[in-house]
């Protein structure tokens, strides 16, 4: 079987994390990838010469397993000879210092750091593994903020993963301003999944997202064109991500997505504790050729919409919040750049009963379909 034009491979270095965010769905098992499996993965990728590769360093918290971060990165020269390879890391930033930030910069990583904005909102839901007291949460926030400062000082291309909840949505805008002042351009606004979004919260989300336009208009004044392009691409990426979360787009439609678990299991999309069994495609120890792995019939979000794993109200809220997000991002793009955003990859239709359900959403629904 031929290889696809691009692999997007996410390596989960460990399921463990030093934090326990209320809304996190990652299974916190003390499982850690070992060097043998890293070597096995690199050998499999080596056997797909010329295939472009996006390699994501994931967790749990990948910096907890830094020796394996080094072990994988040390092997990259075997993969970069004849293809484009991009590197990304998703981290809560608490394990980053100046030396590690310099390492990430040297190897050309893009980093996505989990920070919700100012301390008072971030620490409401992001707690320490050891317990929920305010002092520990604040100390971890300070470590995340320090990690972010190291990344910015080192010149690492950094995005913020901002989770927004019904309790913090009123502060989305000041939190965005706070992060932009730290030097960030790409804000990944993630409406939380699993907490109830009432109509009043959707109205607040709507208002706060509309407030991004004056923020970015001011920011654009006098910016050099590469930074303007950064903003343009970040908004496009948010439109695509919202479409994926609604269940109308594959995760990376032009690539083969593979997620390598710390125990060697190979998944077809990002698993969480509820969906992982349904997303398994194989195992590193048995796989002889990545191109022979079976196709993934349903994405992680489509599995969520299959309802076996979530309550109907959760699904309804995911769709309402992400439709709203997508529409506001499209408007933002049009207002800032003077034309409609280009159409992304072809859509896949959601199950018809979910469309009907969205239409039946309550009278106060702000979702401008």
Q: For the chain, what percentages of helix, strand and coil (3-state, to nearest 5) are there?
A: 45, 15, 40
Instruction: Say how many residues touch ligand SF4, by CB under 6 A.
Output: 12
Is the CB of 114 or the CB of 243 nearer to ligand SF4? 114
Q: Which listed residue (92, 190, 299, 366) binds ligand SF4 by CB under 6 A?
A: 92
**208 counts as binding ligand SF4 under rule CB under 6 A:** no
Among 21, 71, 146, 177, binds ligand SF4 (CB under 6 A): 21
Distances (CA, A) of 31 to 97, 139, 158, 318: 24, 26, 27, 30
Q: Which of 11, 24, 69, 111 binds ligand SF4 (CB under 6 A)?
A: 24
Contact indicator for 19, 129 with CB cutoff of 8 Å: yes
The residue among 126 and 328 lying less far from ligand SF4, judged by its C-beta, is: 126
Q: Which of residues 93-122 bind ligand SF4 (CB under 6 A)?
A: 114
Nearer to ligand SF4, 63 or 321 (CB): 63
Stretch that binds ligand SF4, among 18-26, 66-74, 131-139, 242-250 (CB under 6 A): 18-26
Quick check: bond before 60 cis, omega within 30? yes
Site for ligand SF4 in 121-140 (CB under 6 A): 126
Q: d(Cα 117, Cα 215) in Å, to the nearest integer?
A: 15
Contacting residues for 329 by C-beta, under 8 A, at least 6 apart: 209, 235, 238, 239, 242, 341
Q: Which is nearer to ligand SF4, 114 or 251 (CB)?
A: 114
User: By C-beta, is 59 or 282 nearer to ligand SF4?
Assistant: 59
Taking CB under 6 A as the rule, does residue 62 contact ligand SF4? no
Taking the C-alpha atoms of residue 252 and residue 218, their distance in angstroms, rounded to an integer, is 32
12 DSSP β-pair partners? 58
The reply to whether 324 sits near ligand SF4 by the rule CB under 6 A is no
Which of these ranges, 54-62, 186-194, 249-257, 323-331, lies near ligand SF4 under the rule CB under 6 A?
54-62
Under the binding rule (CB under 6 A), the answer on residue 262 touching ligand SF4 is no
Among 41, 59, 216, 265, binds ligand SF4 (CB under 6 A): 59
For CA atoms 59, 60, 64, 67, the dihedral sign is: negative
Least distance from C-beta 17 to ligand SF4, angstroms?
Answer: 3
- Residue 347's region, left for phi above 0, alpha for psi from -120 to 50, else beta, is beta
Torsion angle of alpha carbons 260, 146, 165, 192, nearest 10°?
-10
Can you give the binding site for ligand SF4, defined by CB under 6 A? 17, 19-21, 24, 26, 59-61, 92, 114, 126
């Amino acid at each position: 079987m031929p290889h696809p034009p691009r692999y997007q491979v996410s390596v989960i270095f460990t399921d463990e994390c030093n934090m326990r965010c209320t809304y996190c769905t990652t299974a916190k098992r003390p499982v850690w990838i070992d060097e043998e499996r890293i070597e096995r993965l690199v050998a499999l990728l080596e056997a797909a010469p010329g295939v472009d590769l996006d390699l994501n360093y994931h967790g749990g918290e990948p910096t907890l397993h830094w020796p394996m971060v080094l072990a994988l990165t040390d092997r990259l020269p075997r993969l970069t000879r004849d293809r484009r390879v991009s590197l990304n890391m998703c981290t809560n930033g608490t394990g980053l210092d100046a030396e590690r930030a310099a390492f990430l910069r040297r190897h050309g990583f893009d980093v996505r750091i989990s920070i919700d904005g100012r301390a008072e909102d971030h620490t409401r839901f992001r707690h320490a593994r050891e317990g929920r007291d305010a002092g520990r949460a604040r100390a971890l926030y300070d470590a995340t903020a320090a990690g972010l400062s190291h990344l910015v000082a080192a010149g690492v291309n950094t995005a913020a993963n901002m989770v927004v909840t019904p309790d913090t949505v009123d502060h989305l805008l000041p939190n965005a301003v706070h992060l932009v002042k730290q030097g960030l351009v790409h804000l990944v606004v993630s409406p939380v999944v699993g907490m109830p979004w009432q109509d009043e919260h959707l109205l607040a989300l709507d208002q706060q997202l509309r407030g991004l336009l004056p923020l970015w208009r001011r920011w654009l004044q006098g910016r050099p064109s590469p930074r303007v392009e950064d903003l343009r691409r970040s908004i496009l990426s948010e439109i695509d991500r919202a479409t994926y979360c609604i269940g109308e787009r594959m995760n990376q439609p032009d690539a083969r997505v593979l997620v390598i678990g710390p125990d060697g299991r190979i998944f077809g999309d990002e698993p969480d504790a509820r969906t992982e069994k349904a997303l398994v495609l194989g195992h590193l120890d048995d796989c002889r050729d990545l191109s022979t792995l079976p196709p993934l019939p349903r994405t992680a979000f489509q599995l969520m919409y299959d309802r076996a794993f979530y309550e109907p109200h959760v699904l309804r809220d995911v769709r309402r919040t992400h439709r709203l997000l997508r529409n506001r991002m499209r408007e933002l793009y049009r207002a800032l750049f003077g034309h409609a955003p280009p159409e992304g990859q072809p859509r896949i239709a959601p199950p018809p009963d979910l469309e009907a359900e969205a239409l039946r959403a309550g009278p106060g629904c702000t979702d401008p379909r």
